[in-house]
Structure 1
Amino acid sequence: MQTRSPFFDDLSRLMTSAAGVAQGARTEAETAFRGFIERWMAENNFVTREEFEAVREMAVKAREENETLKARLDALEARSAAE
């Protein structure tokens, strides 16, 4: 017949608590590191992915508008040269 040892029960509870504390410390360290990186990037004028994508979309739209306007200008110049 096996009996449970209070020593092993206490050790088990201690290990479970230690694992919880370690997980909490890991989460806190990740949050602190993420905050540090975000502050460092802001101080060094880095942009976020969202900002980059927004400016990229604006550039693509401007390029398309420029191509449309160039085609219209070429057509007007051709018509003016033909007259």
Structure 2
Amino acid sequence: MTQTQGRLFDEFAKLMNDAAGVAQGARREVETVFRAQGDRFISEMDIARREDIEIVRDLAAKALGEVERLSARVAELEAKLAAAAPTMAPDEPVDGA
């Protein structure tokens, strides 16, 4: 009887190992299908990638810096023009030509 019980437990252990292997294989298959469906869904939705957003953010920061620099330059030129305006005659060109 002891040998029969040991053999029964061995068979049961093999059955459980096989079932665990099948379950892991099924889990991997479900993950693969789910990931593929998710990738397809995201690609169809035209969602921007994080890298693309970071590139646009960097470009916007550079453009904002350039706008600020040019605004300061325009203010400086307007100040020079305003300072020179009272000394110029009304029909005299601004650039001195």
Same-fold status (TM-score > 0.5): yes
After TM superposition, which residue ranges in structure 1, 4 or more long, deviate above 6 angstroms? none
Secondary structure in 2 matching 1:23 = helix
Secondary structure in 2 matching 1:47 = coil
| Bigger radius of gyration among the two | 2
Identity %, equivalent residues: 46
Secondary structure in 1 matching 2:26 = helix
Question: What's the counterpart of residue 19 of structure 2?
Answer: 18
Q: 1:60 to 1:32 in 2, by over 3 A?
A: farther
The aligned length equals: 82
Residue type at the aligned position of 1:29 = V
TM-score (norm 2): 0.66
Q: Which ranges in structure 1 are unaligned for 5 or more consecutive residues? A: none
| Structural RMSD (CA) | 2.1
Shift of 1:16: 2.0
Question: What's the counterpart of residue 73 of structure 2?
Answer: 72
Correspondences of 1:1-80 after superposition (within 5 Å): 5-80=6-81
- Higher RCO (CA 8 Å, separation ≥ 6 residues): 2
Q: 1:82 to 1:21 in 2, by over 3 A?
A: farther
